[in-house]
Amino acid sequence: MSEVEKALVAGILIGEGSPTCRGRYRGGKIIGSFPVVTIGMCDKKAVEKVAHIFDTKVTQSKAIHCKPTPQNPKGTLSITATSGKPAQAIMKNLEPYIKETDLHAKWLRTLEKCPTKPRPKKCRAYRTRKRIKAQKK
């Protein structure tokens, strides 16, 4: 990421970024968590630039959140997000630009309550089914 791209992303994140913690569930129980950085704006082109740098996709909200314009006649919100280790790498890269901002404080709080853990191994029943299928072949 170039210095110009870092400054662009940092500026958009400071204004529109939202760091959060999402849980990973199995059978209704939380089995882990991961940090997420989301950006949602009415300006689709700005979100597309950030998505290109994040190497993520842009999605449109179904609800109307924005005032309809010629560029956005439906008034939908454009959203992009990155999570887990890529989100941590991006935020670490942007740290010199975002230090001492509310965004940085929120990110640090997110990391405290959302420690990344390695994904759990597949459950025993899954491994057993896989072994049985292999034996049938």
Instruction: Name 79's Cβ contacts closer than 8 Å, sequence gap at least 6.
Output: 38, 39, 40, 47, 58, 59, 60, 61
Tell me the two tokens of residue 115. Answer: 């420690």
What CATH number belongs to 3-136? 3.10.28.10
Domain limits of the chain? Answer: 3-136
| pLDDT given for residue 104 in this prediction | 92
pLDDT digits (tens, 9 = 90+) for 45-97: 899 999 998 899 999 888 777 888 888 888 888 999 998 889 999 999 999 99
